[in-house]
Structure 1
Amino acid sequence: MTAVPGPAGPVPHRRRRWRDHLRRAVRRDGNPLVRPVDRSRSRALLLTALGIGLALVLGAGAAAERFTSVRHRESTTAARLHAVQAVTLTPAQRRIEPGSGRTRYEAEAAWTSPDGRGTTGTVAVPGGTATGSAVGIRVDDSGRPVPPPQGTIQAGADAACLGFLAFGGLAALLIAGLSIRLMVLDRRADEAWQCSWASFEPRWNGRTPRDNRAG
């Protein structure tokens, strides 16, 4: 009975391939057939992978710094504000923020400033708020209303967006640099192959230098 060949062996693990690149880059592979251009290619891949790892760390650091600074600024600002009750003078009006497209509701309202003066202005209110409703707002020392603080979810989303942009920008630059480097190495390898073939081909075909001159 003829044995049926089994499936091909497992594909080398990705970690092993990176280990092979590392050994080739530091000349520890012991392979006499590896060309200098192959070692340069392995070094370029390893440096790019290291750079992407650093870009990820920098992106995460930028996101964490942004989130911490936003929350600290909000808490510092909130400590200097005053909570007051305002009475709406008009029903809630729907507004769409330019640029972001987010919907909010505003109404004209009256309130008493921290210094005792009566003040009117436009404040943010829940949708469906009727005239004469009491709404809580925050004002500064001069009685001007301030927007509500940025929530934790929104602050986290903004920080994550900043971190992603930082990481994506650095990673794109590194990948572009790797592509250019590999193109240069491929061109160099092709030129070296053509030079070697021009020297080896006459001997492989059994032609002599005189035959080359005659041709």
Structure 2
Amino acid sequence: MTDARRPARSVPARGMLRGHLRRAFGRDGNPLGRPVDRHRSQAVLMAFLGIALAALVCAGATAADYAMSRPQALAAASRLHRVDAVTLSPPRGADPTVAGRTMYAADAYWSWPGDRNHTGSIAVPRRTSPGSTVSTWVDDRGRPVAAPPSATDTAVNALLIGLFAFCGLTVLVASGLTARLAVLDRRACDSWQSSWALYEPVWSGRTAPGKQAG
């Protein structure tokens, strides 16, 4: 004989959303439905709409940031120049960066603009020996500068800004939903206690307080 008991299935998110939608507009057909249940579903739907709106806003902000930052990066890159520098010393470790990586630098010399020679410290790979040729970036005066951001760097930065903004807005929406549901739960508890005080004496066969049995 097979066991008739089956594990309960989890309700799909789409079905839950459909149920909240019907309940929010009083279309669920549940005769035991209470106004507080409808208000709960309305709060959940508002949270879903808030998150969807936050996603659209952050996506637009990401696209706008990239569209604004990319021309600026190209304009800055047009004033930079890539030159070959010859190292004069072994690489030495600098302070770790934010990402935890240790950058290495070495003394080197290079020429820019034209035949004007410069010496200074540039970023190099870890295993660079003296006398090696290393490509580096300099400005119009020949001073070493960081490499200009690529299109990928600009896109990643814009995406990170959008993601941080979306996470922040989602936290705000979730906090608002939690606060609203807490208020509704207290309201439902107070209503249940009032109803219990009113109807329990009748259900239990006792009379209401202050009255005597007939």
TM over 0.5: yes
2:59 corresponds to:
60
1:182 aligns with 2:181: yes
2:210 corresponds to:
212
1:111 corresponds to:
110
Write out the 4+ residue segments of structure 1 that deviate beyond 6 Å after TM superposition.
Answer: none
SS in 2 for 1:148: coil
1:143 corresponds to:
142
Residues 114, 143 of structure 1: 8 Å contact kept: yes
Alpha-carbon spacing, 1:203–1:6, altered in 2? closer, same or farther (3 Å): closer
1:192 corresponds to:
191
1:73 corresponds to:
72
1:193 is matched by which residue type in structure 2? W
1:33 corresponds to:
32
2:95 corresponds to:
96
1:172 is matched by which residue type in structure 2? V
Gaps of 5+ in 2: none
Alpha-carbon spacing, 1:61–1:181, altered in 2? closer, same or farther (3 Å): same
Amino-acid identity (%) = 45
Cα deviations across residues 57-110 of structure 1 (Å, max 9, x unaligned)?
334344444445444333221112223332222222232334332222211122
Deviating more after overlay: 100-109 vs 113-122: 113-122
Residues 88, 135 of structure 1: 8 Å contact kept: yes
Q: Over aligned residues, Cα RMSD in angstroms?
A: 2.9
In 2: Cα distance, 1:110 partner to 1:23 partner:
73
How far off its partner does 1:129 sit?
Answer: 2.2
How far off its partner does 1:156 sit?
Answer: 4.7
Deviating more after overlay: 7-16 vs 144-153: 7-16
Q: How many residues align?
A: 213
Alpha-carbon spacing, 1:10–1:101, altered in 2? closer, same or farther (3 Å): closer
Gaps of 5+ in 1: none
In 1: Cα distance, 2:81 partner to 2:207 partner:
98
1:88 is matched by which residue type in structure 2? T
In 2: Cα distance, 1:86 partner to 1:10 partner:
67
SS in 2 for 1:212: coil
1:120 aligns with 2:97: no
2:76 is matched by which residue type in structure 1? T
In 2: Cα distance, 1:110 partner to 1:203 partner:
98
TM normalised by structure 1 equals 0.81
In 2: Cα distance, 1:19 partner to 1:81 partner:
57
Alpha-carbon spacing, 1:208–1:6, altered in 2? closer, same or farther (3 Å): closer
1:146 is matched by which residue type in structure 2? V
SS in 2 for 1:47: helix
1:33 is matched by which residue type in structure 2? L
How far off its partner does 1:128 sit?
Answer: 2.3
Alpha-carbon spacing, 1:96–1:78, altered in 2? closer, same or farther (3 Å): same
TM normalised by structure 2 equals 0.82
How far off its partner does 1:113 sit?
Answer: 2.6
2:178 is matched by which residue type in structure 1? S
Deviating more after overlay: 187-196 vs 146-155: 146-155
1:206 is matched by which residue type in structure 2? G
1:74 is matched by which residue type in structure 2? A
Alpha-carbon spacing, 1:94–1:8, altered in 2? closer, same or farther (3 Å): closer
Alpha-carbon spacing, 1:97–1:71, altered in 2? closer, same or farther (3 Å): farther
1:165 corresponds to:
164
Deviating more after overlay: 69-78 vs 7-16: 7-16
